[in-house]
Structure 1
Amino acid sequence: MNPLLQLRELGQSLWVDDIRRNWLGDGTVRRWIEEDGLAGMTSNPAIFEKSIAGGEEYRDAAAKLAAQGLAPLAIYEQLALEDVRGAADLFQDVYRATSGRDGYVSFEVSPLLADDTAGTVAEAQRLWRALDRPNALIKVPATPPGLPAIPDLGAPRSTANGSRFSARAAFPRVLFL
């Protein structure tokens, strides 16, 4: 048996910490879901920077957005949101089959908001609405100002998790939110 599928039998959920546009379009992610039991994907600004800067598959889309007058940050966001939506669509069956336990794809709130609770909440809600997928997962920096944002984002429908723990003491605080 595929050892990755054995993880699922042990109650583990396998996620990939990367999103690449070519994986979404060439069947790689679908194959990982079907053959290896992939349960979700995470992303962050560094992942997208690496993919967009080094990926031919982004060149035409970025040029088109630039021709529309979009600023570099807006271009990044448009490209990243497209990829997260595409990945979330591929994980819809996993999300439904597990009643929402698995099948998520994450997108991170800007780390520039790590010290701004209200800004984090507003940005996370904006991103969740922009993604428009029930299996979108918004990552919030697990900083002292970020932690209070997490419970606020669980209602009414959005989903959030803590990431980038800056101190060991923050971890148990996230577990018991």
Structure 2
Amino acid sequence: MALNPARRAALTDAAIEVLAREGARGLTFRAVDAQARVPGGTASNYFASREDLLHQTAGRIHHRLTPDPAALADLLGAPRDRALVTALMHDVLRRIDQDRAGYLAMLELRLEATRRPELRAALTDTLRADLDANIAFHLGERLPGDRDAVVLLYLGMTGLILDRLTLPDLVDQDGRLVDALVDRLLPPA
């Protein structure tokens, strides 16, 4: 297997674009090579199998969707109240708008995981670790609300994200429901 990390990242970024545009069934080595504008056969030199490509692409999506530490530090300069949680939730939507393909690709991987037990196990582990980290972050930063509130925020935001990506004209075009979600889930100061 080829070891050039920059080329591997470019190929997984290309795979993300293919997933977002074509879905999991369209994710082939040939499609990734074409998207990355590399010679045919390049992706097969970097990934042992399509399963390997899916798993490494999931890891790359996870990396791309991680909040920027500097932007997070700026947000955390505010008091630990519902307004800060609201700002953090709006930041999630901002990141979705900036990397729409990354989030669509994650949705495609989640759908593909319903048919691939190994992928389902890997995504479950990754997303469970992310949720646990978000809960620990929320509680560690002494933000309002308990563990259940964080899980409910996750579930509410997941629904809003799904609608924003797939049926953007259905609900919450202006982010108003994010404000309502936080106000209704978290106790007042």
Shared fold (TM-score greater than 0.5)?
no
Q: Which has the higher contact order (CA 8 A, sep 6+)?
A: 2
User: Is the helix fraction higher in 1 or 2?
Assistant: 2
Which of these two proteins has the greater Rg computed from alpha carbons? Answer: 2
Higher strand proportion = 1
